[in-house]
Structure 1
């Protein structure tokens, strides 16, 4: 009897092992319960509605005239005056809104390009070169990335006012060039994508450090660079406090500060509300196009950074 039991035990163990192997091959792990799936799906739906509700309100409100804006339900259409509202924006103050859009594109593109190059170069140096104080410098970079940008707006204004650069394009662009979080990401991408052996091979071929960075390393960090560029572009486009402190001429305003000036006027005249809402909707269109155009690099770049 004991022999039969001993013989049956391995067979049961083998069946259990095969069952475990089969479940692992088919499911890849423990399957979530129905309650967990429903809870997770519900939270995602709530988050999606919370994220899309402001955009939906802008879309609906931009199709209404001044009367319908206050006499109809705010989250559903009642009439279609979108073309008239857009035309009103183009005609207001000789098309100053287009000037604001152009300023935002200029600030975001040039500022993000400069910040990306500086961030990749600084991160590359912190990653691939040994020098005294490297750890302290990297800790300083990480600590600086924790400071909110609004905290630095007024000190930066005092510095640029002393230099006589306020109300110029440089008072906005130069602070955008320095991005501690971008330097941190640059180091992460350099660690994961630039082999030290390849750099040594390039040095043996007679290449200098500057040539190695631009001809070899920068190409290998292209995906990470595009990710940093996208983050900087979005951050600069949405920035409000720095232009508020630095700029005082309407023709130099980015779209965020221009819309704010319209909001101040709308507090005195209700006729401005349709312009503010329609302008807010139009201001997110370039960002949406930008995100959809570069979403492939966005996904791969974020994945590369998370793996590190």
Structure 2
């Protein structure tokens, strides 16, 4: 019972800010500062309409950019991590342990430390203020490679690979027909972690991008917040935008959870 109580308190603590955003997004500018905190208002549809009209719908451009950054970056990172983790788990070659130790060290380096050097490198090669400046740094992710390596070690029996080699299968065929299918549950986990991390990333696009037409939601809503200091009416748009920005994440988790459970079961059978 104590453990259940702690979990309930933790859930309330996590859901309280979301509940505040949900309720506040329903309030008109006049209601936002007058109604009690958790009393719903009557202005949600008007807020959505104003957000849609703000600067010719720039919010939806930010949402599309975020989908490109998070979806593309997560897919590329998952592919690179799966192949790298498979190679580190199933092949013996000089320097393998050194590479793995460097990956472990890379996990310990905060992203904020790398942001400025990454900007200088991309500025030097002419990729600053482009979509690639946000996408490419997300592709090589040490923690994702670490997860892929651990999962490949546990999920892919060496005997199965040896049987394939005896049957004449090439290493590429073993990767595509044996290794990756058994790694699907781990790949789904990596994709979810990376998608959420990139979706919520603020510092990297804030440093890399100058054109607000390329901004993701995090940076776009920040510019709205900065403008709201002089225009309090924008606060409703910021809150409504924050609410709409979490809807794709909720939909992704609800969708992927089903496939995740299915993949875990099929991986166990295989």
TM-score band by shorter chain is over 0.9
Aligned-residue offset at 1:167: 0.6
Other-structure match for 1:94: 56
Other-structure match for 2:74: 112
Other-structure match for 1:169: 131
Aligned-residue offset at 1:136: 1.7
Map 1:123-142; keep pairs closer than 5 Å. 123-142=85-104
Distance 1:224 1:185, change over 3 A: same
Equivalent-residue separation in structure 2 for 1:62 and 1:302 (angstroms): 38
Aligned-residue offset at 1:299: 5.9
Distance 1:164 1:302, change over 3 A: farther
Equivalent-residue separation in structure 1 for 2:10 and 2:261 (angstroms): 20
1:221 to 160, 177, 183: 183
Other-structure match for 1:306: none
2:9 to 46, 51, 61: 46
Scaled by the length of structure 1, the TM-score of the pair is: 0.83
Equivalent-residue separation in structure 1 for 2:7 and 2:160 (angstroms): 44
Q: What is the CA RMSD across the aligned residues, in angstroms?
A: 1.6
Aligned-residue offset at 1:246: 0.6
Gaps of 5+ in 2: 266-270
Aligned-residue offset at 1:286: 0.3
Equivalent-residue separation in structure 1 for 2:178 and 2:156 (angstroms): 9
Task: Confirm or deny that 1:72 pairs with 2:73.
Answer: no
Equivalent-residue separation in structure 1 for 2:264 and 2:239 (angstroms): 33
* Larger Rg over CA atoms: 1
Which range moves more in the overlay, 146-155 or 222-231?
146-155
Equivalent-residue separation in structure 1 for 2:241 and 2:176 (angstroms): 41
Distance 1:145 1:302, change over 3 A: farther
Other-structure match for 1:189: 151
Map 1:11-30; keep pairs closer than 5 Å. none
Equivalent-residue separation in structure 2 for 1:302 and 1:220 (angstroms): 9
1:285 to 212, 235, 247: 247
Contact 2:25 2:243 in 1 (8 A): yes
Gaps of 5+ in 1: 1-36, 304-308
2:206 to 232, 244, 265: 244
Bigger relative CO (Cα 8 Å, ≥ 6 apart): 2
